[in-house]
């Protein structure tokens, strides 16, 4: 099957296998609802947004849900409403928006390292950093719930709030069996297209604190409680009605799609299991990941090839991958002036060796199997090359 004109072999996949595709069903119900919304003249923060908030509260088992325009804005509003000022401890192994939200709220990031097994914020690394911190922002990295038990204890000992960036966590479960969404002072989900539940763009703040929820509702509306006398510097963080409806619609089918997503992720894990030099994210006993992403850690020496070369080889076969989160936050230009006061060696190791593989709910299981076979072949070739490739 060699193309004579170029000497190249066509990739195993005739079309690019994307990293992610949003799970959105454009069915007749959706079509009708969008038409009705457009005709109603009520385009933002109305009945559908309220319905979505109620449905999300029921699904997540949490007292209050405040829908916002995106997760970054949601985090900024939480920091503003808690009136935090100072340094906020955050993992460096996260998406840039976690740190940006801290910066935009007028606070400063203080980087902490990740746990080498779960890849989430390591409470042991946080302990020496909370002394004079204003708060902690933890992340459910790739959908694996962070250690909220230990982190909450640390925060309580200093009297500071634990805020959770739950961008990856819609559908995840804590070791105690409760859904992600009910811990810390507030959890903030992202509903952007690459996340497990999407409303196009969108975010959802969940909390069991009624006063905070009420303040957040004012905050997302410029700080105006409705009498045109703004009480503080809020902003426009509202969700549109079309997004609200998309949320209700997606939530009705969410368990089904999440189940498929989990089984695809487990198929990856079992098919790649035992391949030398590859390891997976540990999920705490009793917890469940939403599998927002399926990451693998590549030990170049044992696998026979670096992470970068593996990504390149997969790319040449039409398989998209991402190097999440590389560079880590403290290595990015926007953070060059932030002093690094802690050891971030686990973070740097993860950033240098991680790769995420294609995963979305309606991806055919066959494609997962073919990608696994391809990775096994790439490994075998690297072995034969006697490590020259690394």
Describe the strand order of the beta sheet including 278-280 as a list of residue ranges: 278-280, 294-298, 354-357
Smallest gap from Cβ 140 to ligand PLP, in A, equals 8
Q: Which is nearer to ligand PLP, 13 or 104 (CB)?
A: 104
Q: Which is nearer to ligand PLP, 196 or 207 (CB)?
A: 196
Q: Which is nearer to ligand PLP, 37 or 71 (CB)?
A: 71
Site residues for ligand PLP per CB under 6 A: 70-72, 94-95, 97-98, 139, 165, 167-168, 190, 192, 203
Smallest gap from Cβ 103 to ligand PLP, in A, equals 13
**8 A C-beta contact, residue 162 and residue 139:** no
The structure tokens 């340094």 sit at: 87
Q: Which is nearer to ligand PLP, 70 or 218 (CB)?
A: 70
Q: Which residues have CB under 8 Å from 328's CB, separation 6+? A: 92, 93, 344, 347, 348, 350, 351
Q: Which is nearer to ligand PLP, 62 or 188 (CB)?
A: 188
Q: What's the rounded Cα separation, in Å, for the pair 262 and 288?
A: 9
Q: Which is nearer to ligand PLP, 354 or 389 (CB)?
A: 354
Q: Which is nearer to ligand PLP, 139 or 179 (CB)?
A: 139
Smallest gap from Cβ 386 to ligand PLP, in A, equals 39
- Catalytic residue status for 292: no
Smallest gap from Cβ 202 to ligand PLP, in A, equals 7
Smallest gap from Cβ 131 to ligand PLP, in A, equals 25
Smallest gap from Cβ 105 to ligand PLP, in A, equals 14
Smallest gap from Cβ 186 to ligand PLP, in A, equals 14
Residue 221's beta-bridge partner residues?
Answer: 236
Smallest gap from Cβ 203 to ligand PLP, in A, equals 5
Q: Which residues have CB under 8 Å from 257's CB, separation 6+? A: 23, 361, 362
Q: Which is nearer to ligand PLP, 74 or 223 (CB)?
A: 74
Of residues 183, 195, 292, 323, which has the active-site annotation? 195
HEC letters along the chain: CCCCCCCCCCCCCCCCECCCCCCCCCCHHHHHHHHHHHHHCCCECCHHHHHHHHHHHHHHCCCEEEEECCHHHHHHHHHHHCCCCCEEEEECCCCHHHHHHHHHCCCEEEEECECCCCCCECHHHHHHHCCCCCEEEEECHHHCCCCHHHHHHHHHHHCCCEEEECCCCCCCECCCCCECCCCCCEEEEECCCCCCCCCCCCEEEEECCHHHHHHHHHHCECCCCCCCCCCCCCCECCCEHHHHHHHHHHHHCHHHHHHHHHHHHHHHHHHHCCCCCEEECCCCCCCECCCCCEEEEECHHHHCCCHHHHHHHHHHCCECCECCCCCCHHHCHHHCCCCCCCCCHHHHHHHHHEEEECCCCCCCHHHHHHHHHHHHHHHHHHHHCCCCCC
- Please give the positions annotated as active site: 195
């Amino acid at each position: 099957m060699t193309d004579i004109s170029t000497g190249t072999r066509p990739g195993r996949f005739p079309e690019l296998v994307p990293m992610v595709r949003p799970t959105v069903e454009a069915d007749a119900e959706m079509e009708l609802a969008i038409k009705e919304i457009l005709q109603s003249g009520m385009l933002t923060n109305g009945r559908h947004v309220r319905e979505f908030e109620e449905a999300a509260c029921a699904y997540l088992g949490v007292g209050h849900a405040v829908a916002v325009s995106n997760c970054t804005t949601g985090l900024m509003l939480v920091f503003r409403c808690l009136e935090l000022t100072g340094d906020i401890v955050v993992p460096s192994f996260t998406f840039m928006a976690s740190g940006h939200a801290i910066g935009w709220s007028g606070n400063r990031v203080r980087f902490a390292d990740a746990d080498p097994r779960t890849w989430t914020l390591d409470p042991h690394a946080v302990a020496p950093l909370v002394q004079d911190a204003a708060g902690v922002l933890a992340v459910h990295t790739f959908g694996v719930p962070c250690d909220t038990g230990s982190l909450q204890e640390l925060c309580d000992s200093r009297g500071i709030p634990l805020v959770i960036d739950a961008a990856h966590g819609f559908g995840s479960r804590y070791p105690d069996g409760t859904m992600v969404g009910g811990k810390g002072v507030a959890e903030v989900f992202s509903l952007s297209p690459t996340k497990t539940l999407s409303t196009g763009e969108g975010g959802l703040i969940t909390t069991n604190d009624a006063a905070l929820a009420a303040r957040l509702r004012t905050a997302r509306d410029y700080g105006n409680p409705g009498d045109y006398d703004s009480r503080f510097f809020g902003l426009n963080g509202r969700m549109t009605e079309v997004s609200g409806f998309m949320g209700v619609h997606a939530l009705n089918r969410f368990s089904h799609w999440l189940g498929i997503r989990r089984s695809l992720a487990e198929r990856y894990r079992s098919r790649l299991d035992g391949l030398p030099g590859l390891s997976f994210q540990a999920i705490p006993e009793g917890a469940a990941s939403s599998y927002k992403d399926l990451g693998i850690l590549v030990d170049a020496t044992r696998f026979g090839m670096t992470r970068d070369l593996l990504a390149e080889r997969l790319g040449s076969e039409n398989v998209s991958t991402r190097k999440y989160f590389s560079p880590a936050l403290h290595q990015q230009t926007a953070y060059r002036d932030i002093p690094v006061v802690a050891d971030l060696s686990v973070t740097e190791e993860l950033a240098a060796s991680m790769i995420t593989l294609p995963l979305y709910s309606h991806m055919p299981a066959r494609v997962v199997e073919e990608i696994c076979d391809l990775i096994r072949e790439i490994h075998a070739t690297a072995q034969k090359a006697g490590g020259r490739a690394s």
